[in-house]
Structure 1
């Protein structure tokens, strides 16, 4: 009996050893088949999308002042000078226009006098003819022989009168018009005679292209003034980017490590076509007002402009690298009970590193980042330890 008991105990021990061996082996195989992945939690927050472009800093208020074809008398400014509205920048030597105006005025007045005199002469003659016609009509009714002789005399007087022709009247009126035109032109020439250049607004002189004593070149600006306290950034956008931009959008301008606030204030209504190394290129100009004052931005320098083209608040979001896209289908892999599970999702707004999830995923779920083709439904997943490969959304 003791011998049989020993055999039974031995068999039980052997069975336990065999069971333990196979259990350990199965656990080892299962552990080795698990995939290490990077993960992140779906969270609720804001998704902000930006369009990043290069822009050039310009003054919002710039004017090129052109000079007349005249000799420069004096230059009052140099590049870098600050000027106020109304300050004289340059003066020129110009002719005296008082004599041509006075001469034209006299000619005009003489023409008016001659016309009015002709009007008066015409009226006197017409009145005289009417008077004679009245007398003739009265005498024609008389049978007195003396009245007959007088009648013939009056008719002869009437026939000898030479009336003022309409042609002479028209000539006199045209003479007045020509004299008035000459007078107006003389006054206009005097008014347009530019003897100086004055600043239309306060700013800084950025160019001077005239020299005292020399003739001014009317083909190039004599002086350029810019308001450097009010700046804008100008960008050129292609067809696809231009459709994303609208007035009032917020902009972040980056100059090295410094950032400034901006706003889209103008979009050109039509595209401009230019030649580039790759052929014709059509772009639309966009102006961005620099909202910050006293910046270190310089006119002519380039800056990076991030135009905010979209913003969603309080939405479910995940990293963009969690999305797997196949044609028109978007999906993610979540981790449930140590296994990968694919979920089809509907996406909304995309930013550079985050995407809005409209449906198909809830906040708090764990998604796999950059899922490889090895991952399918049911693939065992080994989650990273705290502080390891996981990623939390902001």
Structure 2
């Protein structure tokens, strides 16, 4: 073979090698430019939105029984005792009001008698004066006047002392005062509390009286709760309170255990409470616990998830797929190995899923947690077999 032919063959081989090398490098470069992404399928299903708050367990029926200003005679219960409606809890030493009422009754009757006697005396005197005035007038008109008799009648008339208005007023006031004394005695007797009885069946949770000591009327003597019917009470700020309504379903969680409930009462007005950050206006919300005999104690703090919205049979994606910008909400879908940005409209949001009302269809593949490197048209690579990424349940 001629030397020139050999050189030509060598050059051809080198050219092929160079082209192959650079083609390989380009392929590697294109592969390295692809972004590894995690994905999920757009699905159709249900979306539920919950408001998570903290709540405290309380009894649905509780009563604080207050004692009178009296000496405690006997305490029949202790903390933890179960009582039934009508059971005597505490008795007190009270004075006998019967003698006071009897004495006040006698004083009242005597005052009435004296007043009535004064009324009768006043009437008798007025009648006597009228009679004498008539006789005097008749004699003065007569032609045959008996001067001595006329003078005697006038003398009698002048000697009569009428009952004064002051005496009448005093007698009437005496009756009023005696009646007030009698009424007060009866009222004191009616209000005299010689015992405390239970109004309903429950458990004694506090006893603040001691036998032989004076009861303190400023604090409850005994507290009784119905521990078979419990509720959870939460305090909500104005934004959260606006999302809650009567009848909403609630899931209460205490550790690994959960209980069903529903919103049963919402306070009509807000109250101001002190927090670490200052004053805060809150609205109390009561949650009725529907489960029988829940393993909960009054005073426990529990987590309450209030169902504030639900949708069935809607298009949905994971929350991680959503990119929110100032003027739009969008997702990135994978089409032919590239990221494509799509603007979407959202509906109900839960903690991990979002309802899509427009912009996507079921079966599309969305990119999760798209960082700033993911742009419209960027090449992407699915690291999972089949290129479908994870499927949202």
Q: Which moved more, 1:158-167 or 1:344-353?
A: 158-167
Give the secondary-structure state (helix, strand or coil) at the position aligned to 1:69.
Answer: coil
**What are the ranges of 5 or more consecutive residues in structure 2 without an aligned counterpart?**
1-13
Give yes or no for contact 2:365–2:388 (8 Å, CA) kept in 1: no
Structure 2 CA distance for aligned equivalents of residues 294 and 384 of structure 1: 50
Q: 1:175 to 1:34 in 2, by over 3 A?
A: same
User: Does 1:58 find its partner at 2:58?
Assistant: yes
Q: 1:23 to 1:175 in 2, by over 3 A?
A: same
Question: Match of 1:34?
Answer: 34
Question: Match of 1:144?
Answer: 144
Give yes or no for contact 2:246–2:263 (8 Å, CA) kept in 1: yes
Give yes or no for contact 2:40–2:388 (8 Å, CA) kept in 1: no
Can you list the C-alpha shifts for 1:90-133, whole angstroms capped at 9, x where unaligned?
A: 11222211111111111111111111112222222223333334
Give the secondary-structure state (helix, strand or coil) at the position aligned to 1:180.
Answer: helix
Q: 1:110 to 1:341 in 2, by over 3 A?
A: same
Structure 1 CA distance for aligned equivalents of residues 160 and 361 of structure 2: 113
Can you list the C-alpha shifts for 1:139-178, whole angstroms capped at 9, x where unaligned?
A: 44332223x6544443443333222222222211111111
Give the secondary-structure state (helix, strand or coil) at the position aligned to 1:120.
Answer: helix
The offset of 1:306, in angstroms, is 1.0
Structure 2 CA distance for aligned equivalents of residues 124 and 53 of structure 1: 86
Question: Match of 2:273?
Answer: 273
Question: Match of 1:365?
Answer: 364
Structure 2 CA distance for aligned equivalents of residues 135 and 352 of structure 1: 111
Can you list the C-alpha shifts for 1:35-93, whole angstroms capped at 9, x where unaligned?
A: 33222222333322212122111111112222233332222112211101110011122
Can you list the C-alpha shifts for 1:7-59, whole angstroms capped at 9, x where unaligned?
A: xxxxxxx9999999988776655444333322222233332221212211111
Structure 2 CA distance for aligned equivalents of residues 387 and 143 of structure 1: 150
Q: Which moved more, 1:102-111 or 1:60-69?
A: 60-69
Question: Match of 2:11?
Answer: none
Give the secondary-structure state (helix, strand or coil) at the position aligned to 1:116.
Answer: helix
Structure 2 CA distance for aligned equivalents of residues 241 and 18 of structure 1: 69
Q: 1:49 to 1:191 in 2, by over 3 A?
A: same
Question: Match of 2:6?
Answer: none
Question: Match of 1:327?
Answer: 326
The offset of 1:259, in angstroms, is 1.0
Q: Which moved more, 1:369-378 or 1:29-38?
A: 29-38
After superposition, the CA RMSD in angstroms is 2.9
Question: Match of 1:3?
Answer: none
Can you list the C-alpha shifts for 1:270-315, whole angstroms capped at 9, x where unaligned?
A: 2223153x44444333322222221110111111111222223333
Question: Match of 1:127?
Answer: 127
Can you list the C-alpha shifts for 1:230-288, whole angstroms capped at 9, x where unaligned?
A: 11112233343333333332211101111111222333412223153x44444333322
Structure 2 CA distance for aligned equivalents of residues 163 and 316 of structure 1: 105
Instruction: Write out aligned runs for 1:1-394 (5 A).
Output: 29-146=29-146, 150-268=149-267, 269-276=269-276, 278-383=277-382, 385=384, 390-394=389-393
Q: Which moved more, 1:220-229 or 1:261-270?
A: 261-270
Q: 1:350 to 1:143 in 2, by over 3 A?
A: same
Structure 2 CA distance for aligned equivalents of residues 73 and 33 of structure 1: 91
Post-superposition, which runs of at least 4 consecutive aligned residues in structure 1 deviate over 6 A? 14-26
Give the secondary-structure state (helix, strand or coil) at the position aligned to 1:377.
Answer: coil
Give yes or no for contact 2:340–2:376 (8 Å, CA) kept in 1: yes
**What are the ranges of 5 or more consecutive residues in structure 1 without an aligned counterpart?**
1-13
Structure 2 CA distance for aligned equivalents of residues 177 and 349 of structure 1: 74
Structure 1 CA distance for aligned equivalents of residues 240 and 386 of structure 2: 40
Q: Tell me the matched-pair count.
A: 380
Q: 1:362 to 1:161 in 2, by over 3 A?
A: farther
Q: 1:130 to 1:379 in 2, by over 3 A?
A: same
TM-score (norm 1): 0.86
The offset of 1:195, in angstroms, is 1.2
The offset of 1:321, in angstroms, is 0.9
